Amino acid sequence: MSSLYYNISIEGTIGVGKTSLANLIAKKTNAKLVLEKFEENPFLKDFYSNQEQHAFQTQLFFLLSRYSQHQDLKQVDIFSKTIISDYMFIKDRLFACLNLNDREMALYDSIAKILEKDIVYPDLAIFLQADTEKLMSNIKNRGRSYESSINPDYIESLNQVYNEYFFRYDKGPLLIINTNEIDFVNNPDDLNGIMEFLKEPIKGKKYYNPIKSL
């Protein structure tokens, strides 16, 4: 798989397993792993306790942090191995559209448009889908204290934003994986199913929708 793509990005709503899958694919393919540095955001904990008050600071920090990380990636030798990332730069705008009020969004947009000119889309985007109930269960199970107050309505709204964006995605090959009935972290067969699917070149938009037999 690693020879088919230089830059692979995995996206999806909070709790869907982006980082876990990125780690697993990187280990399987000996790829360079690039993870979002969400834990460095000093406003994130405050955001989850009071979204309206802390949304803009949280969003702006993420925007600049993700931009800096993408600039660093440009220094990677083009002949180096495949890069696997657990986010796309566009995710910042998806969250901003949901979290910011009109005035905040106007200011955010004026900054983001300048930065987005330098961003390159991945050779392959992988969008992990799950319903809200599954996502809430995943969030609870991973036990991050600052996520304990996340409202299911927020996750549902975020899910809609992501689904609408990737429904219209046309920036390159896209693989959409339905994760509702699989557990690629704890079940090797589920992970192998994804890896087998990735062995063939993906053109346009493809769906991987594994359904467990009863």
Provide the pLDDT for residue 213: 47
What average pLDDT does range 3-15 have in this prediction?
Answer: 88
Provide the pLDDT for residue 120: 86
What average pLDDT does range 159-184 have in this prediction?
Answer: 95
What average pLDDT does range 18-23 have in this prediction?
Answer: 96
Q: Using 50, 70 and 90 to split pLDDT, how confident is the model at 160?
A: very high
Considering the chain, what is the average pLDDT of its residues?
89
Distance of CA 150 to the CA centre of its chain: 18
Spatial contact of 197 and 176, defined as CB atoms under 8 Å apart? no
Residue 67 Cα distances to 15, 28, 42, 130, angstroms: 23, 27, 17, 27
What average pLDDT does range 161-178 have in this prediction?
Answer: 95
Between residues 127 and 30, which one has the greater pLDDT? 127
What average pLDDT does range 16-34 have in this prediction?
Answer: 93
Distance of CA 124 to the CA centre of its chain: 13
> Is residue 214 over pLDDT 60?
no
Q: How far apart are CA 21 and CA 184, in angstroms?
A: 7
Beta bridge partners of 176: 127, 207
What does the pLDDT look like over 117-137, one tens digit per residue? Answer: 888 899 999 999 999 999 999
- For each of the domains in the chain, give its residue range(s) and CATH number, in order of start: 13-208 (3.40.50.300)
Percent of the chain with pLDDT over 90: 66
What does the pLDDT look like over 50-95, one tens digit per residue? Answer: 888 999 999 999 999 999 888 877 665 555 678 899 999 999 999 9
Q: How far apart are CA 56 and CA 46, in angstroms?
A: 11
> Is residue 2 over pLDDT 50?
no
Q: How far apart are CA 182 and CA 133, in angstroms?
A: 14
Provide the pLDDT for residue 1: 54
